[in-house]
Structure 1
Amino acid sequence: MSDTSTAAYTAEAARLDAADELAKHREKFALDDTVYLDGNSLGALPAHVPARMADVITRQWGELRIRSWDESGWWTAPERIGDRIAPLVGAADGQIVVGDSTSVNVFKAVVAATRLAGGDRDEILVDATTFPTDGYIAASAARMTGHRIVPLDPAEMPGAVTGRTALALVNHVDYRTGRLQDLPGVTAALHAAGALAVWDLCHSAGALPVGLDAHGVDLAVGCTYKYLNGGPGAPAYLYVAERHQARFDSPLPGWNSHADPFGMTPDYRAAEGAPRGRVGTPDILSMLSLEAALDVWDGVRIEDVRAKSLALTDFFLECVRAYAPEGRVTSVTPEAHAERGSQVALRCAEAPAVMAELIRRGVVGDLRRPDVLRFGFTPLYVGFADAERAARVLGEVLRDIPAG
């Protein structure tokens, strides 16, 4: 790569950054000069969160103590924060409850969906490329409920749904390749056959429009520590469409989801609405850290985030083609915008060594063994200069590390 070509790409990056309406949001995050392209694993820290949490710990917990369940709004946090997330995934208020891990919420959603489906429907379609835990949970749920698992590529699901299908569990974006699955099409095909759609939004919420209500999704789950920047281990969330809430039968009924939680009665009677998705006492510190982090979304349109995400990933792929030695990396992320999430995955035979060296040189992505370099683009704080620098450093590393 000549100095002239490099100058052209750096100049183009500067032009794109100057025209970027979302660039002003970068200052809301605690960042250094590292190019951070792993926000699809752990989002960056919003700069105001430490001060907010200092108040939660010193005043709400330290001074008010038990009174904070009422006076600081701890008790209503799971649904209040759910309503903050709702616009980012295209849901009306009152359908999302925050709490527990993604795995726990997948279990709730899958078992509850089998109960909603009922009848002779005894098969669960599962995304064959799913994040492993989703597959583990679905298999366990199937053993418990007498269902059988049918692993399929999501593209094959519309043609595979039968009268025996209870539900399909699908990742909206493939965690390894960044492929965006057809949520509207798969959901419609399931509904046409009387089955339910359960979507995992971990790699799409906060990166692109989801449209849960518009597309009639039945249940959905997602984490909050990736594009939503909630912090390591931040609580996940469960979406139950309003039309299903009265019949939503959680496999994990707890005192927190009881209609009269402080009655402490031996019999269980489910609460109305989204609180049915609760189980036990919420993790308040992580919950309120997430609530503070969501402030960075104030005034941000998810459609604008999606537009920048596509522009960033397009530009990064263009720069990789220009900077990387021929034949050393191959993109496994779809080129078509309709099929792409907000990450780029590159296959590279020397991926472990390459990623380690990239990180040492200040470009942080991640590795999916054995041979995938994964770069996540979080449009609120990643710019076009970051994309150009990452591709340029990747080219340098590939030239320094021998092939094969």
Structure 2
Amino acid sequence: MTDFDETRAAFHLPEGVVYLDGNSLGPLPLAARERLSAMLMQEWGEQLIRGWNTAGWYVQPRKVGDRVAKLIGAAPGTVVMGDTLSIKVYQALSAALELNPDRRVVLSDDGNFPSDLYIAQGLLTSLGRGYELKVVGPEEVEKSIDETVAATMITEVDYRTGRRHDMKAITAKAHRAGALAIWDLAHSVGAVDVDLTAADVDFAVGCTYKYLNGGPGAPAFIYVAPRHADRARPSLSGWMGHEAPFAFDLDYRPAPGIERMRVGTPPVIALTVLEAALDVWEGVEMRDVRAKSIELSERFIAGVETACPGLELGSPRNPAVRGSQVSFRHPHAYAVMQALIARGVIGDFRAPDSMRFGFTPLYLGAADIDRAIGVLADVLDKRLWDRPEYHRKASVT
């Protein structure tokens, strides 16, 4: 049984703040400060360049990848860390298309994170040869899979509404139609139960700065199913993905297995912070996290609908088809959210009219939820949001 009092104590949480935005950026794990200081002074400071060998920096992407693998139902040796999520999306999609060369359609949905669609649009434009990105509504994905589709590229949990796709069913439908399945787990890993092996997924990618609390700019990961690991060609043929990087050959030869999906120099400082963040997950049962997340989100929805009847629920009502976030709509959602943040309740805004709240049981409890409901009701009842400073949009919303 997961001890959520213990996990809460593992984070730095600013006094007086209810943090409902862990679905965008997780809070600071206390252990990260000490771990990072030791890395900076004892490893980089004392060992200098020797740290690549003596401190294990070179193998860090695979080592940390194996720890992430445990959280997404992947076998050891199938996940590697590094670079950004956009790069990992590019790698997964380009590899999938080469594995299915006679087809030209990539299927996604309009609930996918726009960055994934941008990457697909850029790649398909570069490839030419009749490639097409087909974007449908989330409810239309499964029935849109046919024999023209080379790959599906879906974010499991919709970043706006929290709507959760049925990964196993969509992957099975893709395979029956001869397509490959790529999944973005940005809003899944650390939030919902994921089992890539059971779902028979081909490729998966994700970030680590949300529910895994790896910090701003924390490195992304990529998963490749074992059946594809030695066939998938990394179109970004980076030095670290070479079979023998320090032979300094002029011709690229991909490394065996998941190592070929490494691209650039590992972000050692960021990976060190992530390692400390992953320590929090030792002894945590994902089923407990999921159950508590549902309990907290259901409490929030019920409380908001009672206290703030003018708001419209923008997320699925059934928690079984919802991730670990809830959205409510309001015509002045941005201003309302700014008023909430000014009063110590932090969520975020997603255009055009959604206030988004994340539920992360590692550091949230029922008292936090009740306080957030009370502050939201006060902001709406008294129109505290209707001030000029709350309507001025910042660069990051």
TM range (shorter): over 0.9
Q: What residue in structure 1 maps to residue 196 of structure 2?
A: 212
Percent identity over paired residues: 48
Return closer, same or farther for 1:21/1:50 CA change in 2, 3 Å cut-off.
closer
**1:46 is aligned with what amino acid?**
P
TM alignment of 1:82-121, pairs within 5 A = 82-118=65-101, 120-121=102-103
Is the Cα contact below 8 Å between 1:131 and 1:175 reproduced in 2? yes
TM alignment of 1:375-386, pairs within 5 A = 375-386=357-368
Q: 1:364 aligns with which of 328, 346, 353?
A: 346
Q: Secondary structure at the match of 2:164?
A: coil
Q: What residue in structure 2 maps to residue 345 of structure 1?
A: 327
Return closer, same or farther for 1:162/1:102 CA change in 2, 3 Å cut-off.
same
Return closer, same or farther for 1:279/1:137 CA change in 2, 3 Å cut-off.
same
Q: Tell me, in whole angstroms, the C-alpha distance in 1 between the residues paired with 2:149 and 2:64.
A: 33
**1:317 is aligned with what amino acid?**
I
1:241 and 2:225 correspond: yes
Q: Secondary structure at the match of 1:202?
A: coil
Q: 1:287 aligns with which of 259, 271, 275?
A: 271
Q: Secondary structure at the match of 1:262?
A: helix
**1:122 is aligned with what amino acid?**
R
Q: Secondary structure at the match of 1:141?
A: helix
| Partner deviation per Cα, 1:44-84 (whole Å, 9 max, x = no partner) | 10011111100111110011011111111101000100000
Q: What residue in structure 2 maps to residue 36 of structure 1?
A: 19
Q: What residue in structure 2 maps to residue 278 of structure 1?
A: 262
1:173 and 2:157 correspond: yes
Question: TM-score w.r.t. structure 1 length?
Answer: 0.93
| Partner deviation per Cα, 1:156-177 (whole Å, 9 max, x = no partner) | 2222222221001101100011
1:45 and 2:28 correspond: yes
Q: Tell me, in whole angstroms, the C-alpha distance in 2 between the residues paired with 1:94 and 1:153.
A: 35
Q: 1:128 aligns with which of 110, 119, 122?
A: 110
Q: What residue in structure 1 maps to residue 239 of structure 2?
A: 255
Greater mean alpha carbon deviation, residues 41-50 or residues 349-358: 349-358
Q: Tell me, in whole angstroms, the C-alpha distance in 2 between the residues paired with 1:181 and 1:240.
A: 20
Q: Tell me, in whole angstroms, the C-alpha distance in 2 between the residues paired with 1:353 and 1:78.
A: 41
Q: Tell me, in whole angstroms, the C-alpha distance in 1 between the residues paired with 2:4 and 2:74.
A: 23
| Partner deviation per Cα, 1:19-48 (whole Å, 9 max, x = no partner) | 984232100000122000000000010011
Measure how far apart 1:87 and its partner are: 1.2
Is the Cα contact below 8 Å between 2:20 and 2:358 reproduced in 1? yes
| Partner deviation per Cα, 1:210-258 (whole Å, 9 max, x = no partner) | 1111100000110000000000000000011111001010110111011
Q: Tell me, in whole angstroms, the C-alpha distance in 1 between the residues paired with 2:302 and 2:84.
A: 37
Q: Secondary structure at the match of 2:199?
A: coil
**1:64 is aligned with what amino acid?**
Q
Q: Secondary structure at the match of 2:187?
A: coil
Return closer, same or farther for 1:237/1:20 CA change in 2, 3 Å cut-off.
closer
TM alignment of 1:295-306, pairs within 5 A = 295-306=279-290
Q: Tell me, in whole angstroms, the C-alpha distance in 1 between the residues paired with 2:132 and 2:349.
A: 32
Query: Is there any run of 5+ residues in structure 2 with no aligned partner, and where?
Result: 387-397
Is the Cα contact below 8 Å between 1:154 and 1:186 reproduced in 2? no
Q: Secondary structure at the match of 1:341?
A: coil
Q: Tell me, in whole angstroms, the C-alpha distance in 1 between the residues paired with 2:175 and 2:141.
A: 12
Measure how far apart 1:153 and its partner are: 2.3
Q: 2:314 aligns with which of 300, 324, 332?
A: 332
Is the Cα contact below 8 Å between 1:97 and 1:274 reproduced in 2? yes
Question: TM-score w.r.t. structure 2 length?
Answer: 0.94
Is the Cα contact below 8 Å between 1:365 and 1:376 reproduced in 2? yes
Is the Cα contact below 8 Å between 2:379 and 2:385 reproduced in 1? no
**1:294 is aligned with what amino acid?**
L
Q: Tell me, in whole angstroms, the C-alpha distance in 2 between the residues paired with 1:83 and 1:329.
A: 42
Q: Tell me, in whole angstroms, the C-alpha distance in 2 between the residues paired with 1:29 and 1:122.
A: 47
Q: What residue in structure 2 maps to residue 267 of structure 1?
A: 251
Q: What residue in structure 2 maps to residue 312 of structure 1?
A: 296
Query: Is there any run of 5+ residues in structure 1 with no aligned partner, and where?
Result: 1-18
Q: What residue in structure 1 maps to residue 216 of structure 2?
A: 232
Q: Tell me, in whole angstroms, the C-alpha distance in 1 between the residues paired with 2:249 and 2:241.
A: 13
Is the Cα contact below 8 Å between 1:23 and 1:383 reproduced in 2? no
Greater mean alpha carbon deviation, residues 366-375 or residues 139-148: 139-148
Return closer, same or farther for 1:321/1:222 CA change in 2, 3 Å cut-off.
same
Q: Secondary structure at the match of 2:52?
A: helix
1:25 and 2:11 correspond: no
| Partner deviation per Cα, 1:267-305 (whole Å, 9 max, x = no partner) | 111101111110111111111111111100001111111
Is the Cα contact below 8 Å between 2:2 and 2:285 reproduced in 1? no
Q: Tell me, in whole angstroms, the C-alpha distance in 1 between the residues paired with 2:8 and 2:385.
A: 36
**2:132 is aligned with what amino acid?**
R
Q: Tell me, in whole angstroms, the C-alpha distance in 2 between the residues paired with 1:40 and 1:270.
A: 35
Q: Secondary structure at the match of 2:357?
A: strand
Measure how far apart 1:402 and its partner are: 7.6
